[in-house]
Structure 1
Amino acid sequence: MTTSPDRRHLLVSALAGAAALCAAPVMASEGKKDAKEAGAASVQLGAIAIPITENGKLSNYIFLNVRINLTIKADEAKLREKEPYFRDALVRMSSKVSFGQPGKDYLLDEPRFKQVMMAEWSKITGPGMIKSIDVLAQNPKRHPL
Protein backbone atom coordinates (compact mmCIF):
# COMPACT_ATOMS: atom_id res chain seq x y z
CA MET A 1 0.00 0.00 0.00
CA THR A 2 1.49 3.32 -1.00
CA THR A 3 0.72 6.67 0.46
CA SER A 4 0.47 9.75 -1.69
CA PRO A 5 2.74 12.73 -0.94
CA ASP A 6 -0.26 14.79 0.23
CA ARG A 7 -1.35 12.08 2.67
CA ARG A 8 2.23 11.73 3.99
CA HIS A 9 2.45 15.48 4.52
CA LEU A 10 -0.89 15.47 6.35
CA LEU A 11 0.16 12.50 8.49
CA VAL A 12 3.51 14.11 9.40
CA SER A 13 1.75 17.38 10.24
CA ALA A 14 -0.77 15.57 12.46
CA LEU A 15 2.00 13.68 14.28
CA ALA A 16 4.02 16.87 14.77
CA GLY A 17 0.95 18.63 16.19
CA ALA A 18 0.23 15.76 18.56
CA ALA A 19 3.85 15.74 19.74
CA ALA A 20 3.68 19.49 20.39
CA LEU A 21 0.49 19.08 22.44
CA CYS A 22 2.05 16.29 24.50
CA ALA A 23 5.20 18.30 25.13
CA ALA A 24 3.37 21.49 26.18
CA PRO A 25 2.42 20.30 29.70
CA VAL A 26 5.96 19.03 30.29
CA MET A 27 7.46 22.34 29.23
CA ALA A 28 4.92 24.25 31.35
CA SER A 29 5.75 22.20 34.45
CA GLU A 30 9.48 22.73 33.85
CA GLY A 31 8.83 26.47 33.71
CA LYS A 32 7.04 26.32 37.07
CA LYS A 33 9.90 24.33 38.58
CA ASP A 34 12.44 26.93 37.38
CA ALA A 35 10.32 29.75 38.80
CA LYS A 36 10.03 27.95 42.14
CA GLU A 37 13.75 27.23 42.28
CA ALA A 38 14.47 30.89 41.55
CA GLY A 39 12.43 31.84 44.67
CA ALA A 40 13.67 31.96 48.21
CA ALA A 41 14.86 28.75 49.84
CA SER A 42 12.48 27.41 52.46
CA VAL A 43 11.17 24.39 54.31
CA GLN A 44 7.41 24.15 54.56
CA LEU A 45 5.60 22.41 57.40
CA GLY A 46 1.92 21.81 56.85
CA ALA A 47 -0.99 20.87 59.07
CA ILE A 48 0.58 20.51 62.49
CA ALA A 49 -1.83 20.52 65.44
CA ILE A 50 -0.50 22.25 68.53
CA PRO A 51 -2.28 22.30 71.90
CA ILE A 52 -3.33 25.58 73.48
CA THR A 53 -3.55 25.63 77.26
CA GLU A 54 -4.95 28.14 79.73
CA ASN A 55 -4.09 27.88 83.42
CA GLY A 56 -2.48 24.50 82.79
CA LYS A 57 -5.59 23.01 81.15
CA LEU A 58 -6.06 22.12 77.51
CA SER A 59 -8.53 24.55 75.94
CA ASN A 60 -8.08 24.19 72.17
CA TYR A 61 -5.88 23.05 69.29
CA ILE A 62 -4.60 25.21 66.46
CA PHE A 63 -3.66 23.61 63.15
CA LEU A 64 -0.68 25.45 61.67
CA ASN A 65 0.93 25.65 58.25
CA VAL A 66 4.39 27.16 58.62
CA ARG A 67 7.22 28.08 56.25
CA ILE A 68 10.79 28.39 57.49
CA ASN A 69 12.61 30.84 55.21
CA LEU A 70 16.30 30.04 54.84
CA THR A 71 19.27 32.29 54.25
CA ILE A 72 21.36 32.11 51.08
CA LYS A 73 24.11 30.12 52.78
CA ALA A 74 21.70 27.38 53.96
CA ASP A 75 21.66 24.02 52.15
CA GLU A 76 17.95 23.84 51.26
CA ALA A 77 17.97 20.20 50.13
CA LYS A 78 19.72 19.04 53.31
CA LEU A 79 17.36 21.04 55.53
CA ARG A 80 14.24 19.83 53.72
CA GLU A 81 15.29 16.31 54.68
CA LYS A 82 15.16 17.48 58.31
CA GLU A 83 11.49 18.46 58.05
CA PRO A 84 10.44 15.72 60.53
CA TYR A 85 12.88 17.16 63.08
CA PHE A 86 11.35 20.64 62.68
CA ARG A 87 7.87 19.16 63.21
CA ASP A 88 9.03 17.22 66.26
CA ALA A 89 10.65 20.30 67.80
CA LEU A 90 7.43 22.27 67.27
CA VAL A 91 5.25 19.61 68.89
CA ARG A 92 7.64 19.21 71.83
CA MET A 93 7.90 22.95 72.43
CA SER A 94 4.14 23.52 72.13
CA SER A 95 3.66 20.91 74.85
CA LYS A 96 5.81 23.04 77.17
CA VAL A 97 4.73 26.53 76.08
CA SER A 98 1.22 27.60 75.11
CA PHE A 99 1.36 29.68 71.93
CA GLY A 100 -2.23 30.93 72.26
CA GLN A 101 -2.98 34.59 72.79
CA PRO A 102 -4.00 35.35 76.39
CA GLY A 103 -7.79 35.05 76.63
CA LYS A 104 -8.08 34.01 72.97
CA ASP A 105 -7.32 30.31 72.76
CA TYR A 106 -8.31 30.30 69.07
CA LEU A 107 -5.53 32.68 67.96
CA LEU A 108 -1.78 32.11 67.76
CA ASP A 109 0.56 34.56 69.49
CA GLU A 110 2.73 34.89 66.37
CA PRO A 111 5.54 37.09 67.76
CA ARG A 112 6.14 34.72 70.70
CA PHE A 113 5.76 31.66 68.44
CA LYS A 114 8.34 32.99 65.97
CA GLN A 115 10.79 34.01 68.70
CA VAL A 116 10.66 30.65 70.50
CA MET A 117 10.68 28.52 67.35
CA MET A 118 13.49 30.51 65.73
CA ALA A 119 15.69 29.54 68.68
CA GLU A 120 14.51 25.90 68.65
CA TRP A 121 14.83 25.37 64.91
CA SER A 122 18.24 27.07 64.86
CA LYS A 123 19.45 24.20 67.04
CA ILE A 124 18.59 21.90 64.10
CA THR A 125 19.92 24.08 61.27
CA GLY A 126 22.86 25.68 62.99
CA PRO A 127 23.28 29.42 63.59
CA GLY A 128 22.49 31.91 60.83
CA MET A 129 20.57 29.52 58.56
CA ILE A 130 17.00 30.75 59.21
CA LYS A 131 16.04 34.13 57.83
CA SER A 132 12.43 34.25 59.05
CA ILE A 133 9.34 32.21 59.86
CA ASP A 134 5.96 32.67 58.15
CA VAL A 135 2.71 31.37 59.57
CA LEU A 136 0.81 30.58 56.37
CA ALA A 137 -2.41 29.42 58.04
CA GLN A 138 -3.80 28.92 61.51
CA ASN A 139 -7.08 27.13 62.01
CA PRO A 140 -8.44 26.46 65.49
CA LYS A 141 -10.32 23.26 66.23
CA ARG A 142 -12.88 25.20 68.25
CA HIS A 143 -13.91 28.65 67.05
CA PRO A 144 -15.26 31.35 69.37
CA LEU A 145 -19.03 31.37 69.84
Structure 2
Amino acid sequence: MLRRALIAAAPLVLLAAAAEASDKKEDKTPVGQYVDLSPVALPIVVRGQLVNYVFVYVRINLTNGANSVKLREKEPFFRDALVRAGHRTPFTRPDDYSVVDEAGLSAALTREAIQIAGPGAVKSVVVTSQSPKKRIIMPRPKSAA
Protein backbone atom coordinates (compact mmCIF):
# COMPACT_ATOMS: atom_id res chain seq x y z
CA MET A 1 0.00 0.00 0.00
CA LEU A 2 2.82 2.41 0.89
CA ARG A 3 4.61 1.49 -2.31
CA ARG A 4 1.54 2.41 -4.40
CA ALA A 5 1.25 5.77 -2.66
CA LEU A 6 4.92 6.54 -3.35
CA ILE A 7 4.54 5.59 -7.03
CA ALA A 8 1.44 7.77 -7.33
CA ALA A 9 3.17 10.75 -5.66
CA ALA A 10 6.41 10.54 -7.69
CA PRO A 11 5.09 12.44 -10.78
CA LEU A 12 3.74 15.21 -8.55
CA VAL A 13 7.11 15.63 -6.85
CA LEU A 14 8.86 15.83 -10.23
CA LEU A 15 6.41 18.44 -11.51
CA ALA A 16 6.79 20.55 -8.39
CA ALA A 17 10.59 20.49 -8.69
CA ALA A 18 10.41 21.51 -12.36
CA ALA A 19 8.01 24.37 -11.58
CA GLU A 20 10.25 25.63 -8.81
CA ALA A 21 13.29 25.56 -11.11
CA SER A 22 11.48 27.54 -13.82
CA ASP A 23 10.37 30.15 -11.27
CA LYS A 24 13.99 30.69 -10.23
CA LYS A 25 15.06 31.23 -13.87
CA GLU A 26 12.37 33.85 -14.45
CA ASP A 27 13.41 35.84 -11.39
CA LYS A 28 17.04 36.11 -12.54
CA THR A 29 16.37 37.50 -16.02
CA PRO A 30 15.44 41.19 -15.95
CA VAL A 31 12.67 42.25 -18.27
CA GLY A 32 13.51 45.40 -20.17
CA GLN A 33 10.96 48.12 -20.52
CA TYR A 34 9.98 48.96 -24.07
CA VAL A 35 7.18 49.92 -26.42
CA ASP A 36 6.86 47.95 -29.65
CA LEU A 37 5.21 49.88 -32.46
CA SER A 38 2.84 48.23 -34.89
CA PRO A 39 4.42 47.85 -38.34
CA VAL A 40 4.64 51.09 -40.29
CA ALA A 41 5.05 51.48 -44.06
CA LEU A 42 7.58 54.21 -44.81
CA PRO A 43 8.05 55.66 -48.29
CA ILE A 44 11.30 55.48 -50.25
CA VAL A 45 11.46 58.61 -52.40
CA VAL A 46 14.12 59.27 -55.05
CA ARG A 47 14.30 62.64 -56.83
CA GLY A 48 10.77 63.45 -55.68
CA GLN A 49 9.31 60.19 -56.97
CA LEU A 50 7.96 57.33 -54.84
CA VAL A 51 9.83 54.14 -55.72
CA ASN A 52 9.05 51.77 -52.84
CA TYR A 53 7.62 51.26 -49.36
CA VAL A 54 9.49 49.56 -46.53
CA PHE A 55 7.58 48.04 -43.62
CA VAL A 56 9.48 48.67 -40.40
CA TYR A 57 9.08 47.24 -36.92
CA VAL A 58 10.41 49.62 -34.27
CA ARG A 59 11.05 49.22 -30.55
CA ILE A 60 11.36 52.17 -28.21
CA ASN A 61 13.53 51.16 -25.26
CA LEU A 62 12.59 52.89 -22.03
CA THR A 63 14.62 53.75 -18.96
CA ASN A 64 14.14 51.82 -15.73
CA GLY A 65 12.26 54.70 -14.11
CA ALA A 66 9.74 55.06 -16.96
CA ASN A 67 6.12 54.01 -16.54
CA SER A 68 5.94 51.40 -19.30
CA VAL A 69 2.20 50.75 -18.92
CA LYS A 70 1.37 54.43 -19.38
CA LEU A 71 3.79 54.77 -22.31
CA ARG A 72 2.45 51.67 -24.08
CA GLU A 73 -0.91 53.43 -24.17
CA LYS A 74 0.81 56.20 -26.16
CA GLU A 75 1.91 53.78 -28.91
CA PRO A 76 -0.42 55.41 -31.50
CA PHE A 77 1.26 58.77 -30.82
CA PHE A 78 4.73 57.26 -31.34
CA ARG A 79 3.59 55.58 -34.55
CA ASP A 80 2.00 58.80 -35.81
CA ALA A 81 5.23 60.70 -35.13
CA LEU A 82 7.17 58.09 -37.10
CA VAL A 83 4.81 58.30 -40.08
CA ARG A 84 4.95 62.10 -40.09
CA ALA A 85 8.75 62.13 -39.87
CA GLY A 86 9.05 59.50 -42.63
CA HIS A 87 6.87 61.52 -44.99
CA ARG A 88 8.43 64.88 -44.10
CA THR A 89 11.97 63.67 -44.83
CA PRO A 90 12.00 60.09 -46.19
CA PHE A 91 14.59 57.76 -44.67
CA THR A 92 15.94 56.80 -48.10
CA ARG A 93 19.40 55.30 -48.39
CA PRO A 94 21.32 56.27 -51.51
CA ASP A 95 22.76 52.78 -51.95
CA ASP A 96 19.68 50.60 -51.40
CA TYR A 97 15.99 51.34 -52.01
CA SER A 98 14.87 48.19 -50.18
CA VAL A 99 15.79 49.33 -46.65
CA VAL A 100 15.48 52.52 -44.63
CA ASP A 101 18.25 54.61 -43.12
CA GLU A 102 18.16 53.13 -39.61
CA ALA A 103 20.40 55.78 -38.04
CA GLY A 104 18.28 58.61 -39.43
CA LEU A 105 15.05 56.92 -38.38
CA SER A 106 16.35 56.27 -34.85
CA ALA A 107 17.55 59.85 -34.44
CA ALA A 108 14.30 61.38 -35.71
CA LEU A 109 12.04 59.10 -33.68
CA THR A 110 14.14 59.52 -30.54
CA ARG A 111 13.58 63.29 -30.69
CA GLU A 112 9.85 62.81 -31.19
CA ALA A 113 9.56 60.08 -28.53
CA ILE A 114 11.22 62.28 -25.92
CA GLN A 115 8.64 64.98 -26.61
CA ILE A 116 5.77 62.48 -26.31
CA ALA A 117 7.05 60.50 -23.30
CA GLY A 118 8.77 63.30 -21.45
CA PRO A 119 12.41 63.77 -20.49
CA GLY A 120 14.22 60.83 -18.96
CA ALA A 121 11.81 58.15 -20.20
CA VAL A 122 13.34 57.10 -23.55
CA LYS A 123 16.66 55.25 -23.65
CA SER A 124 16.91 54.43 -27.38
CA VAL A 125 15.00 53.60 -30.55
CA VAL A 126 15.83 50.45 -32.49
CA VAL A 127 14.58 49.15 -35.84
CA THR A 128 13.97 45.47 -35.07
CA SER A 129 12.94 44.39 -38.55
CA GLN A 130 12.23 45.77 -41.99
CA SER A 131 10.94 44.33 -45.21
CA PRO A 132 10.40 46.06 -48.54
CA LYS A 133 7.16 45.96 -50.49
CA LYS A 134 9.25 45.04 -53.54
CA ARG A 135 12.90 44.33 -54.19
CA ILE A 136 14.40 47.00 -56.41
CA ILE A 137 17.55 46.82 -58.47
CA MET A 138 19.48 50.03 -58.10
CA PRO A 139 19.33 52.19 -61.24
CA ARG A 140 22.47 52.73 -63.26
CA PRO A 141 23.86 56.24 -63.19
CA LYS A 142 22.97 58.25 -66.28
CA SER A 143 25.88 58.94 -68.58
CA ALA A 144 26.97 62.52 -69.12
CA ALA A 145 26.74 62.19 -72.94
TM-score where L is the length of structure 1: 0.75
1:32 and 1:5 mapped to 2: Cα distance?
36
| CA displacement, residues 27-62 of structure 1 (integer Å, 9 cap, x when unaligned) | 637844762xx2432212253221222222211111
For 2:39, which of 47, 65, 74 is the aligned residue?
Answer: 47
For 1:11, which of 2, 8, 13 is the aligned residue?
Answer: 8
Q: How many residues align?
A: 137
Letter in 2 for 1:28: S
- Residue 129 of structure 2 corresponds to which residue in structure 1? 137
Give ranges in structure 2 of 5+ residues lacking alignment: 138-145
- Residue 121 of structure 1 corresponds to which residue in structure 2? 113
Structure 2 residue matching 1:60: 3-state secondary structure: strand
| CA displacement, residues 119-145 of structure 1 (integer Å, 9 cap, x when unaligned) | 212221012321211112222222233
* Residues 57-72 of structure 1 aligned to structure 2 (within 5 Å): 57-72=49-64
1:44 and 1:114 mapped to 2: Cα distance?
14
CA separation of 1:58 and 1:75: change in aligned 2, threshold 3 A: same
Structure 1 residue matching 2:39: 3-state secondary structure: strand
Q: What is the RMSD of the two structures over their aligned residues, measured on CA atoms?
A: 2.7
Letter in 2 for 1:48: V
Structure 2 residue matching 1:143: 3-state secondary structure: coil
Letter in 1 for 2:73: E
How much identity, in percent, do the aligned residues show?
37
Structure 2 residue matching 1:40: 3-state secondary structure: coil
- Residue 95 of structure 1 corresponds to which residue in structure 2? 87
1:84 shift after superposition: 2.1
| CA displacement, residues 96-134 of structure 1 (integer Å, 9 cap, x when unaligned) | 221111353222122221221112122210123212111
1:42 and 1:69 mapped to 2: Cα distance?
4
1:6 shift after superposition: 2.8
CA separation of 1:104 and 1:8: change in aligned 2, threshold 3 A: closer
2:21 and 2:9 mapped to 1: Cα distance?
22
Q: Which has the higher helix share?
A: 1
- Residue 16 of structure 2 corresponds to which residue in structure 1? 20
2:66 and 2:12 mapped to 1: Cα distance?
46
